[in-house]
Structure 1
Amino acid sequence: MVASPETMSFQAEVKQLLQLMIHSLYSNKEIFVRELVSNASDATDKLRFEAIADPILLEGDGELAIKIALDPVARTISITDNGIGMSRDEAIQHLGTIAKSGTKEFFQKLSGDQQKDATLIGQFGVGFYSAFIVADKVTVESRRAGLPVTEGVRWESAGDGEFSVEAIERPERGTTITLHLREGEDEFLSAWRLKSIIRKYSDHISLPIRMLKEEWDSEKNEMRQSDEWESVNQASALWTRPKSEITDEQYASFYQHVSHDNDKPLAWTHNRVEGRSEYTQLLYIPARAPFDLWDRNRRGGLKLYVKRVFIMDDAEQLLPTYMRFVRGVVDSADLPLNVSRELLQESRDVRAIREGCTKRVLSMLEAMADSEDAAEREKYATFWREFGQVLKEGMGEDHANQERIGKLLRFASTHGESADQTVSLADYIGRMKEGQDKIYYVTADSWQAASASPHLEVFRKKGIEVLLLTDRVDEWMLSFLNEFDGKALVSVARGDLDLGQMEDEAVKAEHEKTAEQFKPLVEKATEVLKDKAKEVRITFRLTESPSCVVSDEGDMSGYLQRMLKQAGQNAPAAKPILELNPEHVLVQKVAALVDGDADAFADRMHVLFDQALLAEGGTLDDAAAYVKRVNRLLG
């Protein structure tokens, strides 16, 4: 007996997605062909992989292919693959729900720009639903490889919030998706139109995509379909072909296939490597960051093939984590076909591939960054805006390539007028003042906070450039970036300021004399602020501000302490040092109270400390006490 269809409801997110497909994404309708053909290709890849361990799954059918059929009378398009197929439960799971954690982010990314929104479909793994852009009903018939003929499944939906599922007999393994076209979508019933879309998006797919040949019927004066199937695409893996035979457009099209990104890549490299390990690599650097670049649960990596047999989608072992932005393919001639993720971690061949791919990516970046061509340098500026923070992670993760990564780093600095990170460490050294032997930097939550830091005052006065570091990764990176080209990196907000040979000896002597004069103020202030400050001292790094706080050498910076607290981590307690500007009128007035009103002296010292803390982006432990003190001073 054949069971009657069972009706089920879509997951809430799928309903929302279907409404989007049906009513919004009409600017680039043809993407449904790209997505459904890509899914069919994935299904054959999965069959190849599972058949390595269980050859019976091939069911005696040697050739894998995709067939696309048109029925102008019924107004349908059918896309059939003889890949892995689906069981009943898998059809319900894969077509009725979206398991991917990025669904929420998908809807947040929607901008209302149809063209841009359409490009997100493949990135979020929801390509199947693009069928509803042109179809008012979609029928899926499938049988999973290895299941009996009687355990086929038919899934059907009109995109109205529900779908039906019923058991069918299906002699062939694999899947057929039939699109019942909406009124007004007749352009997709043209074989010529479909073939042009396939060649545009799917020419690189390594298995044949077949359609029925068309012949001219002289009696009816029209084209008609014959009974003979012909391949529409080249049906050879792009990376296996000689570079001289591949156009830039074909490279870009393949990138869009592996990345589900409609933008063109910034750069790519295609190489056959021979030696201790033999493999082919085709690596791409994207032009923009994916939505889930910072998702810690996201699996990044390259597509791994072994002797042209697909093994896995996201082999993260083939590149270090800080290169998770790279897309592409590695095809190894040495790895076993049954390689697992665990074996990848232990394989010497994989380590060789990882090293080779890492060096190729760095070479691509260096070629853009160091090019004499302005367009190439602009490409690197684009890369840095999108992925600079990720590349900075490499300073701690990839000790072997630290020097190369250091040359690729870019920062904002006091040399510029904006937050754009365009200054390399080599640029900085080239502009260093005579006698300067250190690279100075300041860290802060934002460019505005960094550029307004009181620690910069003496550097601006002397015309010394300071790097403005505002990315959250910077403090961590600096623990590995201690020097560059023999020049130590020094924080302007840490320790006592020492400008070395740039300070005049006579000025130094004058400073020592002034510091001695203010010794009573320092001693009394130290006692008053003993619960807040590790030390109070006179400074000459300030020209406009009355005070500032600095971290002692070896202590965690205030900025890093704040970041750890925001992340819910316990930061080791470290009191800052308060530095006073003896030339500022407020400090001079407080100095006059050393032997006077103790309460007035204490109020003013607490205010100077709290203001210095606020100027650095810190928070007050007792904001109410600060307000009361200010009110008393104003009263």
Structure 2
Amino acid sequence: EEWKEGENDQPGDMVKTGEWETVNKANALWSRNKKDITPEQYSEFYKAISHDFEAPLAWSHNRVEGSTEYTQLLYIPAKAPFDLWNRDKSAGVKLYVKRVFIMDDAEALMPSYLRFVKGVIDSADLPLNVSRELLQESRDVKAIREGSTKRVLGMLEDLAKKAAPAPAEEGVTDVVDKKDEATEVESGKYATFYAEFGAVLKEGLGEDHANRERIAKLLRFASSTTDSVTVAFADYKARMKEGQDAIYYITADTLAAAKNSPQLEVFKKKGIEVLLMTDRVDEWALNYLHDFDGTPLQSVAKGAVDLGKLQDEEEKKAAEAAAESFKPMLEKLKEALKDKAEDVRVTTRLVDSPACLVVQDGGMSTQLARMLKQAGQPAPDLKPVLEVNAEHALVKKLEGSAHFDDLANILFDQALLAEGGMPADPAAYVRRVNALLV
């Protein structure tokens, strides 16, 4: 119908034309050619399916043909949802079969560590009556899941490459053009992504063995040389000192606790960089990553410190002599702390602090044990190893002290506090300190 003006002072009216008119011109965005879709249209479509007000950081639109045929349009959000850590919430992309909507949150199409990814997957091979149970068993779904995972990791690798600092050019002026501003925006996208989803990405180290190396290259950390979370394993390895044969790291509850940990003292003295890991998932994730590109990862809070070629022979001989002369004192400390410490030994990692706590190689860290208990999970009762600095004035004061047991317990509790723990009996700790003060 169309409007026709009236004649001879008569009012106008709608009249039939006998022609068909298209009322709805909308079609599936993902089914259109990429060159026909503008960035604004991609962004608006993301907002429509995700109910997000912010534009996505990146997207990937592809048609896959072969043994399995499907179209994927995947987005990486700029902001984490409030329920990102809710494991009970279903997550995943929207599933279509031949442009017929099947389900929201098709979890089988994306691994859980990529649960933040939004988008649409349209399969040409799955049956229209597919159920969640069939999705778990389908060979086609497995191929789609693997292909989508690789595509998302590829997007993240592209963002990470753009975040790498560009080499300085000769004759650079202070004038900034629009191209430079656009490049700066692109280079900041990976930092934005990592601040929102970096901790989730680390779950992939334990959940996705096939892509573990790719995920490891995407991880970023602060270090003893910078507070910003920008240091990749590859960056660390490129800066390793000659003779250094391990990537050193420490896990802690906060950045301040990690930076000021007594366990870093010998590394700071020798100028050895240490990665600072402060996400709650770090301790668990690193159980699945033992080396990077052939270089082993070593926690500075586990086992005895062996700096190998970085420690000269004189230092080794001095440490052995100190341990030998301090043996009687170590036996007394072991007896006084037999209910708290698995062992007491002379340290090679302390410079300014009197003592610190470590665990044996391969043992569960005290931080992980605390987190398990806080989450209501069963955790073993750990007895850490107390390492003492034989050259420290407080340790020397133990010799012949009338308050030996009190000083020994204070030494242990202070080492526990320094690494983020809490004395089993805080009142007893305060009482011992007060007794020494008066």
CA distance in 2, matches of 1:434, 1:530: 41
| Partner Cα separation in structure 1 for residue 149 and residue 366 of structure 2 | 35
Structure having the higher Rg: 1
* Counterpart secondary structure, 1:328: strand
Q: Are 2:214 and 1:414 aligned?
A: no
Could you say which residue in structure 1 is the equivalent of 2:324?
516
User: What's the counterpart of residue 242 of structure 1?
Assistant: 33
Whole-angstrom distance in 2 between the partners of 1:247 and 1:263: 17
Q: Deviations over 1:203-259 (max 9, x none)?
A: xxxxxxxxx978899999xx9988899657631100111111111111111111111
* Structure 2 Cα separation of the partners of residues 466 and 433 of structure 1: 12
Using the alignment, how far apart are the partners of 1:319 and 1:603 within structure 2? 56
Q: Secondary structure at the match of 2:79?
A: coil
Query: Which letter maps to 2:195?
Result: R
Give the superposition deviation at 1:454. Answer: 0.7
The equivalent residue for 2:67 is 276
1:267 counterpart = 2:58: yes
Question: Which of the numbers 365, 374, 377 marks the counterpart of 2:187?
Answer: 377
Contact 1:301 1:313 in 2 (8 A): yes
Q: Is the 8 A contact 1:213 1:226 kept in 2?
A: yes
2:335 equivalent to 1:503 = no
RMSD between superposed Cα atoms in Å: 2.2
Change (3 A) 1:214 1:390: farther
Query: Which residue identity does 2:416 align to in structure 1?
Result: L
Match of 2:413 among 600, 604, 610: 610
Amino acid at match of 2:366: G
CA distance in 1, matches of 2:315, 2:88: 56
Q: Distance in 1 between matches of 2:365 and 2:21?
A: 68
Is 2:87 aligned against 1:296? yes
- How far apart in 1 are the matches of 2:287 and 2:355? 27
The whole-number CA distance in structure 2 between the counterparts of 1:602 and 1:337 is: 74
For residues 309 and 8 of structure 2, the distance between their equivalents in structure 1, rounded to whole angstroms, comes to 96
Q: Does the C-alpha gap of structure 1 residues 242 and 605 become closer, same or farther in structure 2, counting only changes over 3 Å?
A: same
Residue in 2 aligned with 1:176? none
Alpha-carbon distance in 1 for matches of 2:437, 2:71: 74
Q: Is the 8 A contact 1:369 1:376 kept in 2?
A: no
**TM-score when scaled to structure 2?**
0.91
CA distance in 2, matches of 1:609, 1:401: 42
Q: Distance in 1 between matches of 2:348 and 2:191?
A: 37
The 1:572–1:215 alpha-carbon spacing in structure 2 relative to 1, beyond 3 Å, is farther
1:386 aligns to 2:203 (yes or no): no
**Deviating more after overlay: 338-347 vs 509-518:** 509-518
Measured in 2, the distance between the counterparts of 1:243 and 1:342 equals 33
Change (3 A) 1:219 1:425: farther
Residue 153 (structure 1) aligns with:
none
Cα distance in 2 for partners of 1:338, 1:227 equals: 42
Partner of residue 149, structure 2? 358
Q: Give the secondary structure class of the aligned counterpart of 1:400.
A: coil
Name stretches of at least 5 consecutive residues in structure 1 with no aligned partner.
Answer: 1-211
After superposition, the Cα gap between the structure-2 partners of 1:241 and 1:623, relative to the gap in structure 1 and judged at 3 Å, is same
**Residue identity (%):** 63
**2:286 maps to 1:483:** no
Tell me which of 602, 612, 623 is aligned to 2:426. 623
Alpha-carbon separation, structure 2, partners of 1:540 and 1:231: 80
SS in 1 for 2:304: coil
CA distance in 2, matches of 1:224, 1:609: 94
With over 3 angstroms needed to count, the CA separation of the structure-2 counterparts of 1:438 and 1:219, relative to structure 1, is: farther
Letter in 2 for 1:240: S
Aligned to 2:217, the other structure's residue is in SS state helix
Give the counterpart of 1:403 among 213, 224, 231.
213
Contact 1:555–1:574, Cα closer than 8 Å, also in 2: no
Count of residue pairs the alignment pairs up: 415
How far off its partner does 1:543 sit? Answer: 1.2
Matches within 5 A, 1:196-595: 234-371=25-162, 373-416=183-226, 418=227, 420-590=228-398, 592-593=399-400
- Tell me the SS of whatever aligns to 2:376: coil
SS in 1 for 2:199: helix
- Rounded to whole Å, the distance in 2 between the matches of 1:219 and 1:356 is 69
1:511, distance to aligned residue in structure 2 (A): 1.2
* Unaligned residue ranges in structure 2 (runs of 5+): 167-182
Relative to structure 1, the CA distance from residue 213 to residue 250 in structure 2 (aligned partners, 3 Å threshold; closer, same or farther) is farther
Q: CA, structure 1 residues 274+507, in 2 after alignment: closer, same or farther (shift >3 Å)?
A: same
Q: 1:360 to 1:219 in 2, by over 3 A?
A: farther
1:573 Cα offset (Å): 1.4
Query: Counterpart amino acid of 1:605?
Result: A
Distance 1:618 1:230, change over 3 A: farther
